[in-house]
Chains A and B, each alone.
Chain A
Amino acid sequence: MSANEALRQHRGFVVAGLGKMGIMHASMLGVVSGGRVAALVDIDEKLGRNVQSMGVDAPVYTDINKCLDEIAPDGVWITTPQFVHRQLFELCVSRGIPVFCEKPLAHTLEDARKMAAAAAARPELPIAVGYMTAHNPLFHKAHDLVAAGELGQACSFKASTRLSQVFSPMKGWTFTKEQAGGGVLINSGCHLLMALHVLFGPPARVTVKGRGVHNQVEDTLGAIFEYANGLWGMIEITWSVPGHELQTHDIEVLGTAGTIEVGNEALRLWLHQKTRNHPAGWSQWLRSRTEPLAEFSLSPEYCGDEFFLEDQDFVNAVRKGGRPKVGLAEAMAIQELLEAMYRSMAENRPVDLASVVKS
């Protein structure tokens, strides 16, 4: 059987939830190798018709059960608001359907744990979670530099997520604790948490202060992370500052031998003295010149490569076997960290991550 014949026999993928992320993934499925949209699902049929008219040649369903019965897809992209993730996730997994779930995994730790339990019962299923920063090779390169001791001993870091989006009271589910699970931390800052997870793994203790500036959920927060090896870091996450039309994630690590600055677009290493691998002074790696790069991008100014790569990665896992690069283990680590941070914020005290993991 030729590759084209094999592709024709594929049933294709379902995109469930047709907001901006659903549209983005549906578009990407038109260009990733082995991708094809077989059906669209949303409770609002008009949204489905809207996406069809963008060029998606696939039927629209308002009932996901009916869709899964009739299409029997190769996989489902869950791109709804996070308070709906669990319901759709459990349904798909119970039917043996691979899932790509947008970040965060859920709006509560309780929901996330139930999702993880459901997936544990079907360990053969590819499950991916849409933390696209983990597909950015610069953060992995930064990890490798730290792990190889290029910085000497990593002592401290400061990290930030900044976005210019919220300057007045906002409407919509994104800004409600009940539906989103929080504000800027869970909606935007979780990408930074994943980048820090790639660099350093989970912290031992978190201390967080946050507040709503314009909304009931937190619009801005500051945090201190402490790690078992003595590393500590200061974190700022806000969507209420000017000058960041596009979301930025930046980390600066200070070590005994130098510093690392890493963000979406560039990684810079500064060394006091040369090492076996790098000269004294600055070394730089640009995202636009660091593999893997995407052959297609819908948003080159903000993580366009990563959106393509995460979708291709999931399609490959479904088509060829293997585990997606960012799965439930990584997503659960972030979910537990989010819970610890929200507890710290609510109870106004440091929280040990171990206490959340055990709870």
Chain B
Amino acid sequence: MTLSAQISDPAGDILGVQLLLGGGAVAASQWEPLRRLQARFQSPEALRQALERKHADGFKSVLALGEPRLLEALGRKRADNLPVPLPMVPNLRGFMREAVEYGMIGAGVRRVWRGGVMSLVGLSMRGITQLGPLKRRDFPTFLRMFIDLELAAFSRFSPPVVFLQPQMTDLAVAMNNPRIIEAFQSAVRDRTGAQLGLVTANFGRLAASLKSWGFDIAALIAPWDGGGSRMRPSAEACVRAARACEFPIWADRLGFIEPPQPEDREVIRQAGLNGIVRDDLSLWTNI
């Protein structure tokens, strides 16, 4: 079975839960309905029930940040009545919150310590050869370590694909540094055996970089909508890049909390995209 068939609902979509977990930016007029939903689904039990409903509606997978509440809702092992989590790593939001207080490196060290004894033991066994790079504050080595720690919590679900968080993907593009993607690849292969996915806000440039970097990418998520907004550097460049890609692409409707309209579906279909990462409020209001 193809990856796309494994993780897509009948419309080709993947479920997103960032809004429900408190992430994402919405206009002031949407604070109230969003807050009501966040309060309603704040317990892991309520979140699990909501995910069960979405699975019953046809969603086979959910794009998942390593948030404790979501991990608890997903349970101790992969369940037949829940969407399979597709990890998006690393969880930079939590990291940046701590960086305000402890600085970038301080926040990193704290995160490693919080990983727990078993993760640290496993990490140190794998990382024994990495002591030199760690001492030199080598960013890709740190990144690999963070991803490794986060994936420890996801390995019980045997995710078919793991996605690299967009700021990391786009940092690699901006810096023209494939070592960042290599670090991701190495952690994913060692910890899960899953295929590699990337999330980006800059698909046009990423597509050009991937040509020269030569990674075996299995899936991609990039901004896409009927109006062409946030498709960087331009809607035309993204459409050209998508047509040249051999892996499935999902549309990230970043910043949109309304459900996709028929014209959005048509644009996505014409560009040959697989589907949409659905992270809109309407998904949850009808539960």
Contact = CB atoms under 8 A, between A and B. Distances in A.
A170 B106 CA distance: 14
Contacts of A301: 24-25, 254-255
B253 to A, nearest CB: 11
B139 interface: yes
Interface stretch (B9-17, B53-61, B80-88, B226-234): B226-234
Chain B interface residue number, banded:
35 or more
A159 to B, nearest CB: 11
A55 B175 contact: yes
A172 B137 CA distance: 21
B274 interface: no
B100 A172 contact: yes
What is the interface of chain B mostly: helix, strand, loop, or mixed? Answer: helix
B175 A30 contact: yes
B104 to A, nearest CB: 6
Given A31-B174, A298-B167, A20 B25 contact: no
B26 to A, nearest CB: 8
Interface in B91-134: 93, 96-97, 99-105
Contact of B179 (A55, A56, A263): A55
A148 B205 CA distance: 40
B180 interface: yes
A160 B28 CA distance: 10
Interface string A34-52: 0000000000001101110
Contacts of B139: 50-51, 53-54
Contacts of A46: 105, 137
Given A20-B96, A172-B102, A301-B255, A246 B24 contact: yes
B201 A54 contact: no
A49 B232 contact: no
Given A19-B103, A53-B140, A54-B171, A297 B28 contact: no
A174 B103 CA distance: 11
Nearest to B107: A20
Contact of B205 (A248, A263, A296): A296
Given A55-B174, A297-B170, 20 more contacts: A19-B99, A20-B104, A27-B175, A31-B173, A47-B137, A53-B141, A171-B102, A174-B100, A245-B24, A246-B25, A261-B28, A288-B230, A289-B227, A296-B174, A297-B202, A297-B230, A298-B174, A300-B201, A301-B255, A302-B25
30 contacts: A20-B104, A23-B104, A30-B174, A30-B176, A46-B105, A50-B137, A50-B138, A50-B142, A53-B137, A54-B139, A55-B174, A55-B175, A55-B176, A55-B180, A56-B175, A165-B97, A165-B100, A172-B102, A243-B22, A243-B35, A246-B23, A250-B28, A261-B29, A263-B28, A289-B227, A297-B201, A300-B201, A300-B230, A301-B25, A301-B255
Q: Ordered nearest first, which 3 A-B pairs have the shortest CB separation?
A: A55-B175, A55-B177, A288-B229
